[in-house]
Amino acid sequence: MQHDGESPQLHTDALFAQVYDRLKAMAGRQLGAGRNTLDATGLVHELYLRIGGDRDLVFAHPNQFFTYAASAMRHLLADRARARLRQRAGGDWLRTTLTGSDWRLALDSAEQALELDDAMKKLEVIDGRAARVVELVCFAGLEHDQVAEALGVATRTVARDWSFAVAFLKSVLDEET
């Protein structure tokens, strides 16, 4: 129930309808310039199947929804990579490129996608907000000022978190290779 002065709660079904095209753009950035076995529309539809019907998920603002959606898409791609690795016959992994501000990461295999997911999990433990910044920049395609608004912090804070996160992820990924 909503009380006077509170912002309305937005359910996932309503948000999906309002922001479908923006989600497709986010998904396209997640999938990168390379071909992939899942296109942007497929990724958004898979996201909807996972979270769209959940009536318990409500968001006070669309930015909260984008934050959640970026994280969910990252997990969907990692789940697909794990599934692909489990397949005996394989199926070719096609290059996926993640970009964000001054950082670009090309994932050439399911193994690399999982290494990135593991590195993101390590980052979440050390600095959860920095991990959200990476998700919003790389996976949602937001600019630093948009990330600042979504997270309720200053743009300077996002820039510091971004610098730390990129250095951390490069370090972890270099160790794993």
**pLDDT-above-70 percentage for the chain:** 62
Claim: this prediction has a pTM higher than 0.75? no
The yes-or-no verdict on residue 29 having pLDDT over 70 is: no
90 pLDDT band, cuts 50/70/90, is: very low
Quick one: tokens of 112? 């690399």
* Continuous segment of H or E residues that includes residue 116: helix 110-126
First vs last Cα of the chain: how many Å apart? 51
> Could you give the CA distance from residue 131 to residue 164 in angstroms, rounded to a whole number?
10
Question: Tens digits of per-residue pLDDT, 94-153?
Answer: 555 555 556 666 666 777 778 888 999 999 999 999 999 988 888 777 889 989 998 999
pLDDT at 164: 93
Q: What is the mean pLDDT of residues 58-65?
A: 78
The yes-or-no verdict on residue 3 having pLDDT over 70 is: no
pLDDT at 40: 66
Whether the Cβ atoms of residue 72 and residue 47 lie closer than 8 Å to each other = yes
Q: 31 versus 95: which is more confidently predicted?
A: 31
Q: What is the mean pLDDT of residues 21-50?
A: 66
Q: 135 versus 9: which is more confidently predicted?
A: 135
Quick one: tokens of 69? 């959606």
